[in-house]
Amino acid sequence: MKASLVASLRPTIQDVADEAGVSTGTVSRVLNGRSGVKAATRESVLRTVSRLEYRPDTAARQLSGRHPKRIGFHVSARSGRFSPFYMLFMQQLVAGFQEGGYRLEDLPSRPDGLPARLTDGMVLFGVHDDDARIPYLQDQGVPFVLEGHAPGARWVRADDYGGGRQATEHLLRLGHTDILHLSGDPSGQAAFDRLRGYRDALADAELSAPEPLAGGFTVLGAYRALRRALDNGRRFSAVFAASDEMAQGAVAALEDAGLGVPRDVSVVGFDDLPEFGEGLTTVRQDVGKVAEVAVTLLKEGLAGAPVRHEVIPVQLVVRGTTARRR
């Protein structure tokens, strides 16, 4: 049999990864004796290597550095894929990994919500506190970074808590005491942290925080929630919306109800997104910086660097939707 045909029949590192249910990066770390792989995963890979009689090709290994590493981008089922923030973050992420010669793959989900396949490294979007993807990837030995936060993991996030405080404190300084909050899914970390900042700012002012309205991080969701509140006789002088989309929905609902912004009700958003944030008093977060740091942290993980995280500062931007309480 010709050597070329023999070579074509040899099991590849991808065959080992598929059989063991891990990424090729995990197989490589096991074969090279690198840290960052759990003992059970290491044993499973070695058993698979033995069973398939896999033998690394020295020449191929020398050339392997020329091939781009596969980076998976996985979105939680609880997060929307078509929000302006998602689209902007994804755009910046693609640019960051392409510049470094990596190949970014948008990963589908299994029925249980976990990534459908494993890659050399992963970026997890839409993190929540009981996120099953975190222990799963830790067990598989796959380096990952969160757009969110979790103990013991690499992560980056905007200062959502601080932004919630800044928005609420701005309204308090303007004399508003009846401040309504439009929130997203409270199981999501960004929504919960912004809500927590709002509540703590009110508590420091010795004011109680009313239950937030569920706006779903959409213009329509916020519009409907606020119109229901107004129709039910709810009265307030200010609204802090946890996204610019919801702030725009709030402005539309107030104006349709005959209320002027900011003459009758002040409105603050969050994100300062292109188009949506224009004209709003809002909390600006640097989406590009969040994506840039996510790329850097994952590269560090792939290189075996120690785990670390970063919180990106936010900034209150005062425009035309807030005014002193009349």
Q: How far apart are CA 115 and CA 109, in angstroms?
A: 5
Share of the chain above pLDDT 70, in %: 91
More confident residue, 220 or 36: 220
Farthest CA pair distance, the chain: 90
Residue, of 274 and 168, whose pLDDT is higher: 168
Please report, for the chain, the start and end positions of each structural domain, with discontinuous segments joined by +. 3-65, 68-157+287-310, 160-286
Indicate the pairing of strand 154-158 with strand 144-147: parallel
Strand order in the sheet with 309-312: 103-106, 70-75, 121-125, 144-147, 154-158, 309-312
Cβ atoms within 10 Å, residue 46: 15
Tens of pLDDT, residue by residue over 83-127, are 788 888 988 898 888 877 898 999 999 999 999 999 999 999 988
The reported pLDDT for the residue numbered 12 is 81
Domain 68-157+287-310 belongs in CATH node 3.40.50.300: no
pLDDT at 2: 39
| Residue 31 pLDDT | 73
**Residue 148 DSSP symbol:** S
Position 185 confidence tier, pLDDT thresholds 50, 70, 90:
confident
Give residues with Cβ within 8 angstroms of 99, minimum separation 6: none
Q: What is the mean pLDDT of residues 266-275?
A: 93
Burial of 277 (C-beta count, 10 Å sphere; 0-12/13-18/19+):
buried
Q: Lowest-confidence range among 20-29, 94-103, 192-201, 302-311?
A: 20-29
In this prediction, residue 3 has a pLDDT band, given cuts at 50, 70 and 90, of: very low
- In CATH terms, are 3-65 and 68-157+287-310 the same topology? no
Q: Which CATH architecture has domain 3-65?
A: Orthogonal Bundle (1.10)
Rounded CA separation 316/296 (Å):
26
The tens digit of pLDDT for each residue in 41-81 reads 887 888 888 788 777 654 444 444 456 789 999 998 777 67
Among 93-107, 164-178, 208-222, 312-326, the range scoring the smallest mean pLDDT is: 93-107
Asked if 250 and 228 count as a contact pair (C-beta separation under 8 A), the reply is no
pLDDT computed for residue 47 by the predictor = 84
- The string of DSSP letters for 195-260 reads HHHHHHHHHHTT-PPPPPEE-TTSHHHHHHHHHHHHHTT---SEEEESSHHHHHHHHHHHHHTT--
Cα dihedral sign for 100, 137, 76, 187?
Answer: negative
Tokens of 195: 């809500």
The label of the residue with tokens 């990994």 reads 97
| pTM: predicted TM-score of the whole model, two decimal places | 0.78
Please give the average per-residue pLDDT across 187-210, as a whole number.
95
pLDDT of residue 77: 77
CATH of domain 160-286: 3.40.50.2300
- Say if residue 292 is exposed, middle or buried (CB neighbours under 10 Å; 0-12, 13-18, 19+): middle
